[in-house]
Chains A and B, each alone.
Chain A
Amino acid sequence: MGPLIPQDIINPAWSNAIAVLIGMGFGFILESCGFSSSRKLAGVFYGYDFVVLRVFFTAAVTAAVGIFFFNYMGWLDARMLYINPYYINGAIVGGIVMGLGFITGGYCPGTSYCAAAIGKIDAIVFSVFMMVGILLFSLVYPLIENFYNASSKGPVLIYEALGMSPAVFLAIFVVIALVAFIVTSRIEKKVKKVEY
């Protein structure tokens, strides 16, 4: 049955209206979880607040298990879903640069929009400079074009790469998430509270 829009079950003309509604849900949930506060987000790196890990892992596991279940029930054809292609260089170096951006800036793009929307001036600065960064990237692109496009592995699924069935991988994923929740709760209790 699903995905609905790619199969024209919902007219693609509705696509942008649906995008606004989904975005509203996304922004509402992120802000309500406290993702509009850089000091709350940074807590994950210093052990005083693991809200990022809890929300992020719970969401990823919920959606991954949901997709598996919907596919099993025949409600959603998982083979039709977009799988972001794996470029080894891009994923690793991009991830490192983003990690540095996170620890210095205190936000990621989505959370900076949420914080900007409720009036955080640091988030407005972050968002504006993010666009400057993108412009900068396009300026140096000719120099790094080969590096950027090299090492393409295509849309690889993690359970294929690990040689497992999707069900086994999901089970391991759920266990890792649960262990992370328990361990981080213990760490949080031991780390000195930060007032913000």
Chain B
Amino acid sequence: MKPKDSVKPYFNPYFGGILLGGLLLLTFFLTGRGLGASGAAKSTVVATVDKVAPKYAEENHYLGQFLSDDKHPMNDWLVFEVIGVLAGAFLSGALAGRLTFKVEHSPKITSRRRLIFAAIGGLLFGIGSQLGRGCTSGAALTGMAALSLAGFVTMIFIFGTGYVAAYFFRKNWI
């Protein structure tokens, strides 16, 4: 890695990990639950479908369970948390000189190929995070911190599958 002069280096990963663990502990201490990410995307989907096709949203067994009369689907803890995530990441990127519009990809592949695979990956993660009742943040990391069996199993299958499948997608990355 050869950062440009204006770009600050990343945190030491162990230092970053201790900070993240401390934040996770603080989150448990304050709210009784941990961090999350995919839940906010789910709330956005529920709210959007409810706006466009309210009857369908209500009748759909999956989306319907996240709708209630007294609470808007976007009035959710994780939605507010993710607004913070976007702001915090932007702030970090701004301070470190990493704000640029670009498609990041290996020089061996085109931007187009990278974007197609990003779309496939997003699609799969959207489906998988619903099946797994949470993603790498909410199910795996938070679950492991709380020593839940679901957290460890989800983590093992996410990363285990990544390693098994890595060979087939190596051209995209190395």
Residues of A with Cβ closer than 8 Å to B? 2-6, 10, 15-34, 36-39, 42, 44-46, 48, 51, 54-64, 66-67, 70, 75-76, 80-123, 125-138, 141-142, 145, 148, 153, 155-161, 166, 169-170, 181, 192, 194-196
Query: How distant is the Cα of A93 from the Cα of B133 in the complex, in angstroms?
Result: 11
Q: Are A67 and B162 in contact (CB under 8 A)?
A: no
Q: Are A55 and B49 in contact (CB under 8 A)?
A: no
Query: How distant is the Cα of A132 from the Cα of B125 in the complex, in angstroms?
Result: 10
With both beta carbons as reference points, the residue of chain B lying nearest to A125 in the complex is identified as B118
Sampled A-B contacts (21; CB under 8 Å):
A6-B31, A15-B77, A20-B84, A21-B84, A26-B84, A31-B93, A39-B104, A58-B17, A63-B28, A64-B145, A66-B25, A76-B28, A94-B130, A95-B153, A97-B127, A98-B135, A106-B173, A121-B101, A125-B115, A133-B122, A133-B126
Q: Are A104 and B121 in contact (CB under 8 A)?
A: yes
Q: Which of B88-124 contact A (CB under 8 A)?
A: 88-93, 96, 98-106, 114-115, 117-124
- Residues of B within 8 Å of A106, CB to CB, are 117-118, 121, 172-173
A-B residue pairs, 5 tightest by C-beta:
A105-B121, A133-B126, A23-B84, A58-B17, A94-B132
Query: How distant is the Cα of A130 from the Cα of B126 in the complex, in angstroms?
Result: 4
With both beta carbons as reference points, the residue of chain B lying nearest to A92 in the complex is identified as B157
Q: Are B165 and A103 in contact (CB under 8 A)?
A: yes
- Residues of B within 8 Å of A145, CB to CB, are 61-62
Q: Are A55 and B23 in contact (CB under 8 A)?
A: no
CB distance from A123 to the nearest CB of B (A): 7
